[in-house]
């Protein structure tokens, strides 16, 4: 099985989970309205972004392509009513962001060095695919992509099919990348529209990371936006894969900017990168040690000669902190400026940060019960729909998820007495990536509840019409028939990997005994080409999309999904 960045560091790490419940207040919503003509403007219904023809090194520009209409999916209703478009009434519209992965790319906690095991351009490097995506050339642009997505959501403002105002937005996890305080704050402040945001850490007068041109630590394995320093050869990204030279990018990425802020309430979902270093190491027994590495002044940039991929993976599984500490004593490090704002947060601390916000609602779904119990699951009602937000992160380690028994019991009780006629589940993990059975030796030792058991429970309740999630960084839509009827599972791509997309979701009543759930892919506000400009977040987001399309270890992947995974009308019998 290919080991990606999210499951690079798997190990049995002890941590305890505290169970609890939370209920958020019902939000305001617009009344249902009669069908209106579909408004394609600003969405992928009007135009899409695709990879263009390959140039030198296989590098492809991003080009504008034709829009895609909604594909009707009929797994639940074989013959949808032909008059439904004329008689439908909107119920609720909202936006989903997922896997934003805002990165502090200068942090000593980064593991860019592991990526080279899959960098086939270097002689002798293994080509096993076990450590792909441990590094991305565009990681310093995450907050700019988030701001560009916020601007796109604000500009669209309403559901393209129902015409209803977007009632809220919801982030389905991995909002930060490395469970750091500063990454978490950048995410909250971008979405909340903080007056000024500075996406920088360490020495605020210069960039200190693998992308800079420090003569002593210059490494060809990493993309360097500027020209190489004197007597140093150009990097592999440029010479082999056709990456551009973008002078001044690192300073542009650090520059303070004024985020737009979502013009609607937004809710947060807990993901494994929010809940653990590199999405795998939870801040439990290793928390203090991980924070010491993150806030310190030694950044690992290379693997010492003689350390094989098997050596690294074995050490990470058995004792990751010992590995990082031992590497920090080798020549494969550089000195950087320490920063206490890089400290690693626990789940309870991340929940608490959402109560310091310029956005609405305060807490962004998390409740006083979540704060006191240290939990991250809750429910809220909007527009006659109950949203049940799950915390699928296993606090004992590993990238994939599962539920603790107390949360599963809470979910069962919520479904037994729903607060609205329809229910939508929201989580970070998909049902297919909830196979993590790891139980700690201390604390809660109850067996973890995995994806199939959750699917079976949801299928027993006709009120459940959809489950929205992220984690895979791909667009997928699955029909989950069974039980009383079944439901649609809607999986949305990430902001960090191409195609860098979100979704607009709408529930409409077809007034013939069926509902339609419209899912419309939304690209961020960055144009196809950044045009050589780095003076705005939108331009930087455009460059990020282009660079992500050319990641040399994933440029052949189709994370945008098939046509029936993108713009879709999902018909289902009404509860």
**What is d(CA 147, CA 525) in angstroms, rounded to the nearest whole number?**
9
Tokens of 217: 């630590």
What pLDDT does 278 receive? 77
pLDDT at position 28 over 50: no
User: For residue 253, which of 150, 144, 149, 175 has the smallest C-alpha distance?
Assistant: 144
- Per-residue pLDDT for 22 more than 60? no
Residue 539 host element (H or E)? helix 537-549
Higher pLDDT, 303 or 262: 262
Q: Using CA atoms, how far apart are residues 217 and 113, in angstroms rounded to an integer?
A: 12
**Domains, the chain:** 5-38+68-573 (3.60.21.10)
Q: Are 84 and 510 in contact (CB under 8 A)?
A: yes
- 377 within 8 A of 325, measured Cβ to Cβ: no
**Does pLDDT of 20 surpass 60?**
no
C-beta of residue 189 within 8 angstroms of C-beta of residue 259: yes
Q: Report the pLDDT value the prediction gives residue 120, as an integer from 0 to 100.
A: 54
User: With 80 as the cut, is the pLDDT of residue 36 above it?
Assistant: no
Query: Could you tell me the two tokens for 58?
Result: 């296989």
**Taking 50 as the threshold, does the pLDDT of residue 15 lie above it?**
no
Nearest to 167 by CA among 335, 378, 382: 382
What are the backbone dihedrals phi and psi of residue 372, each rounded to the nearest 5 degrees, phi first? -75, -35
Q: What is the model's pLDDT at position 300?
A: 86
Say what the pLDDT of residue 315 is: 65
Q: Is the pLDDT score of 43 beyond 60?
A: yes
Which of 34-38, 261-265, 273-277 tops mean pLDDT? 261-265
Tokens of 459: 């299928």
Q: How far apart are the first and last CA of the chain?
A: 39
- 137, 95, 471: which is closest to 274 by C-alpha? 471
Q: Mean pLDDT for the chain?
A: 88
Mean pLDDT of all residues in 436-448: 79
Confidence tier at 340 by pLDDT (50, 70, 90): very high
What percentage of residues in the chain have a pLDDT greater than 90?
75
For the cut 60, the answer to whether the pLDDT of residue 285 exceeds it is: no
Q: Which of 179-183, 286-290, 383-387, 437-441 has the lowest mean pLDDT?
A: 286-290
**CA-closest candidate to residue 523, choices 17, 13, 48:** 48
pLDDT at 19: 33
**32-36, 90-94, 345-349, 499-503: range with lowest mean pLDDT:** 32-36
pLDDT at residue 419 greater than cutoff 80: yes
Residue from 12, 13, 537, 534 nearest 247 by CA: 534
Tell which wins on pLDDT, 206 or 127.
Answer: 206
Residue 403 neighbours by CB under 8 Å, 6+ apart:
390, 391, 392, 411, 434, 448, 449, 450, 454
Please report which residue ranges of 133-223 form alpha helices under DSSP H.
142-156, 181-192
Asked whether the beta carbons of 369 and 22 are under 8 A apart, the reply is yes
Q: Is 418 exposed, middle or buried (0-12, 13-18, 19+ CB in 10 A)?
A: middle
Residues 6+ away with beta carbon under 8 Å from 155: 42, 525
- The token pair at 507 is 């529930």
Take residue 79 and report the two structure tokens written for it.
């013959």
Quick one: average pLDDT of 453-477? Answer: 98
**Positive/negative CA dihedral, 533, 539, 544, 549:** negative
Average pLDDT over residues 303-331: 66
The secondary structure element, H or E, covering residue 553 is none
- CB atoms closer than 10 angstroms to residue 553: 20
- 96 near 169, Cβ under 8 Å? yes
Alpha-carbon distance 9 to 317, whole Å? 6
Neighbouring CB atoms inside 10 A of 413's CB total 10
Longest dimension (CA), the chain: 73
**Model confidence band, residue 133 (pLDDT cutoffs 50, 70, 90):** low
Q: How far is residue 343's CA from residue 148's CA, in Å, rounded to a whole number?
A: 27
Average pLDDT over residues 558-564: 95
Q: Check whether 324 has a pLDDT greater than 70.
A: no
Backbone phi, psi, residue 546, to 5°: -65, -45
Residue 316: pLDDT band with limits 50, 70, 90: low
* Residue 232, CA atoms < 13 Å, CB-side half-sphere: 19
Q: Output the pLDDT for position 197.
A: 97
Those residues whose C-beta lies under 8 Å from the C-beta of residue 75, and which sit 6 or more positions away, are: 479, 481
Task: Read off the pLDDT of each residue in 504-515 and give the average, rounded to a whole number.
Answer: 97
Average pLDDT, integer, range 526-551: 97
**DSSP per-residue letters across 71-136:** EEE-SS-SS--TTHHHH-EEEEEEEEE----B--TT-TT--GGGGGGG-TTSTT---S-TTTTS--
Please report the pLDDT score of residue 406 as a whole number. 96
Q: Is the peptide bond before 531 cis (omega within 30 degrees of 0)?
A: no
Q: Residue 522: what are its φ and ψ, rounded to 5°? A: -125, 125
Distances (CA, A) of 483 to 30, 45, 90, 415: 32, 34, 27, 14
Of 30-34, 113-117, 269-273, which range is least confident? 30-34
pLDDT for 547: 98
For the cut 70, the answer to whether the pLDDT of residue 66 exceeds it is yes
Compare 572 and 291 and report the one with higher pLDDT: 572
- Quote the pLDDT of residue 25: 42
Nearest alpha carbon to residue 109 among 274, 295, 254: 295
Coil, helix or strand at residue 319: coil
Task: Check if the beta carbon of residue 297 is closer than 8 Å to that of residue 200.
Answer: no
557 band by pLDDT with thresholds 50, 70 and 90: confident
User: Cα(505)–Cα(489) distance, rounded to whole angstroms?
Assistant: 12
Q: Name the nearest CA neighbour of 530 among 237, 244, 242.
A: 244
């Amino acid at each position: 099985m290919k080991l990606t960045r999210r499951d690079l560091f798997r190990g049995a790490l002890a941590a305890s989970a505290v169970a609890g419940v939370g209920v958020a207040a019902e939000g305001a919503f617009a009344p249902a309205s009669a069908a209106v003509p579909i408004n394609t403007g600003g969405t992928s219904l009007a135009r899409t972004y695709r990879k263009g023809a390959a140039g030198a090194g296989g590098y492809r520009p991003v080009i504008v392509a034709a829009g895609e209409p909604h594909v009707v999916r009929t797994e639940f209703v074989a013959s949808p009513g032909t008059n439904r478009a004329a008689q439908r009434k909107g119920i609720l519209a909202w936006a989903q962001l997922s896997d934003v992965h805002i990165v502090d790319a200068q942090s000593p906690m980064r593991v860019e060095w592991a990526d080279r095991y899959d960098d086939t351009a270097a002689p002798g490097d293994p080509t096993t695919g076990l450590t792909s995506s441990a590094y991305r050339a565009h990681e310093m642009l995450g907050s700019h992509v988030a701001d560009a997505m916020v601007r796109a959501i604000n500009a669209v403002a309403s559901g393209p099919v129902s015409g209803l105002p977007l009632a809220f937005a919801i982030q389905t996890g991995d909002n930060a990348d490395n469970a750091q305080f500063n990454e978490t704050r950048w995410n909250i402040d971008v979405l909340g529209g903080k007056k000024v945001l500075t996406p920088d850490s360490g020495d605020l007068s210069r960039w200190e990371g693998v992308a800079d041109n420090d003569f002593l630590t210059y490494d060809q394995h990493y993309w360097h936006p500027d020209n190489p320093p004197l007597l140093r050869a150009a990097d592999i990204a440029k010479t082999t894969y056709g990456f551009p030279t973008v002078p001044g990018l690192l300073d542009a990425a650090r520059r303070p900017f004024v985020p737009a802020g979502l013009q609607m309430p937004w809710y947060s979902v807990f993901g494994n990168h929010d809940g653990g270093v590199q999405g795998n190491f939870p801040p439990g027994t290793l928390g203090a040690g991980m924070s010491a590495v993150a806030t310190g002044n030694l950044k690992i940039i290379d693997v010492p000669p003689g350390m094989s991929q098997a050596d690294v993976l074995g050490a990470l599984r058995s004792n990751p902190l010992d590995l990082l500490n031992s590497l920090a004593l080798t020549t494969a490090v550089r000195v950087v400026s320490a920063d206490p704002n890089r400290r690693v947060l626990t789940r309870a601390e991340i929940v608490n940060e959402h109560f310091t916000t310029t956005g609405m609602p305060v807490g962004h779904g998390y409740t006083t019960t979540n704060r006191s119990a240290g939990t991250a699951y809750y429910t809220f009602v909007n527009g006659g729909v109950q949203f049940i937000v799950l915390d699928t992160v296993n606090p004992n380690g590993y990238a994939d998820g599962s539920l603790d028994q107390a949360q599963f019991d809470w979910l069962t009780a919520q479904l037994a007495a729903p607060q609205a006629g329809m229910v939508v589940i929201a989580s970070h993990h998909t049902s297919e990536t909830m196979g993590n059975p790891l139980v700690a030796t201390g604390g809660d030792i109850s067996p973890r509840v995995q994806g199939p058991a959750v699917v079976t429970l949801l299928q027993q309740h006709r009120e459940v019409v959809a489950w929205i999630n992220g984690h895979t960084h791909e667009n997928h839509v699955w029909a989950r028939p069974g039980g009383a009827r079944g439901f649609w599972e809607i999986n949305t791509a990430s902001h960090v990997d191409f195609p860098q997309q979100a979704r607009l979701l709408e529930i409409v009543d077809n007034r013939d005994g069926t509902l339609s759930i419209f899912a419309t892919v939304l690209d961020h506000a960055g144009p196809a080409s950044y045009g050589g400009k780095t003076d705005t977040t939108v331009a930087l987001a455009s460059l990020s999309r282009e660079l992500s399309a050319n990641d040399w270890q994933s440029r052949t992947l189709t994370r945008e999904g098939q046509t029936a995974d993108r713009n879709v009308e999902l018909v289902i019998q009404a509860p």
